[in-house]
Amino acid sequence: MTNTDVKNTPFFSVVIPTRNRVDLFKKALNSVLSQTFTNFEVIVVNDGSDKESLEAYKQFEKETPSNVYFRYQIKRPNGHGQSYSMNTGALVGAGKYLCFLDDDDEWIDSEHLARAYESISNSDSTVDAYYTNQTAVFVDGVVKQGPIWLEDLAEKLQYKQSDVRGTMDVSVSELLESHGFAHLNCSIIRRELYLCINGMDENIRWECDRDLYLRTLDRADKILYNPCVVSRHLIPDTSKKENMTTMVNMLEKRLYQVTVFQKGTLLLKRSSLRTYCLAYLGFIYQHITHELLSTNRVKEASSYASKALACRFSIKWLVFTYWLKTKALLS
């Protein structure tokens, strides 16, 4: 599919942040350049790679097509972070819609942008966000089982009418029925909306994509969902401390999640989203309680148990909380 109707500006800007992972980045970029739809640009944001990697990136830049643009950021010890890089790409991009791809992941559906373009263009009103699905694989190639993102919505929404591309209108409440959320790799957001909500929160180093998802839902009027699996997410090797996924332990990850959902309960305008955030916050507090208890940090566990009770009341958790408080007093 070509884009003969729009010649001057790209319909999509695809933002790829990268740092010191030249080979993985090449694979990611090539998966974008393999799209059958051609009216797009790629904004590559290099987040301060080291000297050796930087030279490799600049050499590869000479071989890329004219619709691929490289931005090089000042080097920092741990980089500027994903959010900063994504925002940089969004600011310099010219596309009406923003797409995102991590440099260690790849799009596996060459029709992804063509399908999105057709559904967005034929919509009866301006589309604010378009979501799809992805699969996740471990470094040994084994596919991770169970719903992670929006995979479980396909069955729940099978009764809904869809267009010829299998895309359907969805409401915020329908999206909240999923046990997951839309990963950046399979998210397309109208650029004006992205900038209106100030893009990704640069103060959040982990779970920043979930934060963006919630704030997008809070402001979006028209949302499309297509159940196609369009990307493959590589689950990082936990033995290598190369990104936020492997640099922090599970308890630290839970605390990052607390930040996201606390923010949601306070700042989101839609009551359904605030209710969702409060319930999820209680769920996270329960997990933190059990993780602290497993390491015999009883007093801290008791404190988080009380927080969980305030968010998600149940008789069972009430009894457990009082038992834990008693245990903390006796310890």
DSSP one-letter code for 69: E
**pLDDT, tens digit (0-9, with 9 covering 90-100), for 240-267:** 444 444 445 788 888 889 999 999 999 9
**pLDDT, tens digit (0-9, with 9 covering 90-100), for 228-239:** 999 999 887 655
| Residue 264: C-alpha distances to residues 29, 67, 199, 312 (Å) | 33, 37, 15, 16
| Whether pLDDT at 6 is above 50 | no
The pLDDT value given to residue 251: 85
What value does the mean pLDDT take over residues 285-313?
94
pLDDT band at 145 (very low <50, low <70, confident <90, very high): confident
Query: C-alpha angle 62/64/68, rounded to 5°?
Result: 115
Q: Are 207 and 257 in contact (CB under 8 A)?
A: yes
DSSP one-letter code for 143: B
Q: Are 112 and 230 in contact (CB under 8 A)?
A: yes
Q: Which two tokens stand for residue 21?
A: 């992972």
| Domain residue spans of the chain | 12-240, 258-330
pLDDT band at 4 (very low <50, low <70, confident <90, very high): very low
Q: Is 223 exposed, middle or buried (0-12, 13-18, 19+ CB in 10 A)?
A: buried
List CB contacts of 16: < 8 A, sequence separation 6 or more: 25, 28, 29, 32, 42, 43, 44, 45, 89, 100, 101, 102, 103
| Whether pLDDT at 2 is above 60 | no
The pLDDT value given to residue 241: 42
The pLDDT value given to residue 139: 82
The pLDDT value given to residue 106: 95
Mean pLDDT (the chain, rounded): 89
Q: How many CB atoms lie within 10 A of CB 159?
A: 7
Q: Which fold has domain 12-240?
A: Spore Coat Polysaccharide Biosynthesis Protein SpsA; Chain A (3.90.550)
What value does the mean pLDDT take over residues 315-320?
96
The pLDDT value given to residue 74: 59
d(CA 65, CA 11): 17
Q: Where are the beta strands (DSSP E) in 25-146?
A: 40-46, 68-72, 97-100, 106-107, 129-137
d(CA 309, CA 315): 9
d(CA 211, CA 273): 12
- The pTM for the full model equals 0.89
Q: Count CA within 13 A, CB hemisphere, residue 123.
A: 22
Q: Which of 97-111, 143-157, 276-290 has the lowest mean pLDDT?
A: 143-157
d(CA 201, CA 276): 20
What value does the mean pLDDT take over residues 155-181?
92
For residue 99, the one-letter residue type is C
The pLDDT value given to residue 314: 95
d(CA 76, CA 71): 15
What value does the mean pLDDT take over residues 37-63?
90
Q: Where are the beta strands (DSSP E) in the chain?
A: 12-18, 40-46, 68-72, 97-100, 106-107, 129-137, 168-170, 187-190, 223-234
Decide which of 206 and 65 is more confident: 65
**pLDDT, tens digit (0-9, with 9 covering 90-100), for 59-82:** 999 999 999 999 887 565 555 678
| Whether pLDDT at 159 is above 90 | no
The pLDDT value given to residue 250: 81
What value does the mean pLDDT take over residues 37-66?
90
| Whether pLDDT at 202 is above 50 | yes
pLDDT band at 149 (very low <50, low <70, confident <90, very high): confident
| Whether pLDDT at 32 is above 80 | yes
d(CA 32, CA 232): 12
| Whether pLDDT at 200 is above 90 | yes
229 dihedral zone (left: phi>0; alpha: psi -120 to 50; beta): beta
